[in-house]
Amino acid sequence: MAKKRRFQSRNTFQPIENAKPESGGAMAFSFGDPESVLTSSPGDYLGVFAGPGDYYEPPISLRGLGKILRANGHHCAIPPFRRNRLLQYYISNNVLSDDDLGNASIDYDVFGNCYLQKIFNRFGQVIQFKHLPAISMRRMKEADRYCQLRSDGKEPIKFQPGEVVHLKEYDVNQTIYGIPQYYGGINSVMLSEEATLFRRKYYVNGAHMGYILYTSDSSLDPKDEEAIKKAVRESKGVGNFRSLYLNIPNGKKDSVQLIPVGDIATKDEFERIKNTTRADVLAMWRMQPALSGAIPENAAGFGDITKIADVYYEFETVPQQDVFLKLNRYLAPGLKLQFGKPEKERASA
């Protein structure tokens, strides 16, 4: 039985005590060690294994995927956009309501799985589908049977064999659960989040070292030296971007020098990370930048938005429709689900 591995970032930020200089020696102090990065990739595959109950655990953390969804603005906005495009052409049907279809669509995109409960009439015919939240659904060991976990930890709700329809993405490693198509790009989503959070922390607490303050005036009084050290130490925290006044009587031109070490907040570096990760996020969702709300970086823009929307419909919306049209195999001819077509296609038909 495989064991679960938990991914946790290890914080090793420990301040270094100030070094006490010997008489006449140089003195330096550090603001702290850098924080270590993850030793394991969040994209590591855990595998499918039987849990403590009569069901299989998913190969990846579903709650983790739900949290990562909100780590990046583009990553968060794309599933609802895809849902809206799907519902735009859906011919409303009481068998599967717009809300149930929309929720199932987001589950399918975010988790690679969606679940629908069959509602039968007295003759055993399927007359309706109800959406079941994918984050709490599990495949049981018994063939074609599923259960739903409870938030209070009580016994899971067990459905009858064949009562639940499971639509999933194909995974080459196992056939029990699906894996979302964007899974390989999670690192880009997290990098974008980390860059933004670091930028925020930089401005809020100023816990950084961007320069070396060098003094070489032998006439500097020890009390004045201590006052300078105190001022530098207290430059961290809210309001850290403030000016420092320094006066050395009879000082020389080069008595005090400010030597830049590096500026992690450089505008170009931050923008380069954000632009690169944005391109990765759009690519892993196969999302056209013109439809994502991104601002073009050139005067020409993204081109004809109408043609881009038509191409997106053909290559993304239609395949998404085909996923849910598989439900028709369980329905009588008069109840089958249908999708319409864009105005241009209807006019030319």
Diameter over CA atoms, the chain: 102
Whether residue 280 is contained in a domain is answered as no
Task: Determine the pLDDT at residue 328.
Answer: 98
- Do 94 and 155 reside in the same domain of the chain? yes
DSSP 64-108: HHHHHTTSSHHHHHHHHHHHHHHHHTB--BTTB-HHHHHHHHHHH
28-37, 86-95, 329-338: which has the minimum mean pLDDT?
28-37
- Do 135 and 75 reside in the same domain of the chain? yes
Signed CA dihedral, 301, 306, 309, 314: sign only: negative
Whether residue 237 is contained in a domain is answered as yes
Task: Determine the pLDDT at residue 212.
Answer: 64
Residue with tokens 């717009």: 98
Chain segment 229-241, per-residue pLDDT in tens: 777 777 655 555 5
Domain count, the chain: 2
- Do 258 and 309 reside in the same domain of the chain? no
The domain in which residue 258 lies consists of 209-263
Other beta carbons within 10 angstroms of residue 229's beta carbon come to 14
Chain segment 55-92, per-residue pLDDT in tens: 999 999 999 999 999 999 999 999 999 999 999 999 99
Chain segment 100-154, per-residue pLDDT in tens: 999 999 999 999 999 999 999 999 999 999 999 999 999 999 989 999 999 888 8
- Kindly report the pTM of this predicted structure: 0.72
pLDDT > 90: what percent of the chain?
51
Chain segment 254-302, per-residue pLDDT in tens: 777 766 655 544 556 888 899 899 999 999 999 999 998 888 777 777 8
Whether residue 93 is contained in a domain is answered as yes
Mean pLDDT within 207-217: 61
Task: Determine the pLDDT at residue 11.
Answer: 43
- Do 246 and 101 reside in the same domain of the chain? no
45-54, 148-157, 173-182: which has the minimum mean pLDDT?
45-54
3-state SS record for 270-322:
HHHHHHHHHHHHHHHCCCCHHHHCCCCCCCCCCCCHHHHHHHHHHHHHHHHHH
- Do 217 and 178 reside in the same domain of the chain? no
Task: Determine the pLDDT at residue 268.
Answer: 65
| Tokens representing residue 208 in the block | 């950084």
Say if CB 213 and CB 262 are below 8 A apart: no
State how far the Cα of 176 lies from the Cα of 87, in Å rounded to an integer: 28
- Do 130 and 83 reside in the same domain of the chain? yes
| Tokens representing residue 213 in the block | 């303050």
Chain segment 179-197, per-residue pLDDT in tens: 999 999 999 999 999 888 8
Whether residue 139 is contained in a domain is answered as yes
- Do 157 and 59 reside in the same domain of the chain? yes
Kindly tell me if the per-residue pLDDT of 3 is higher than 60.
Answer: no
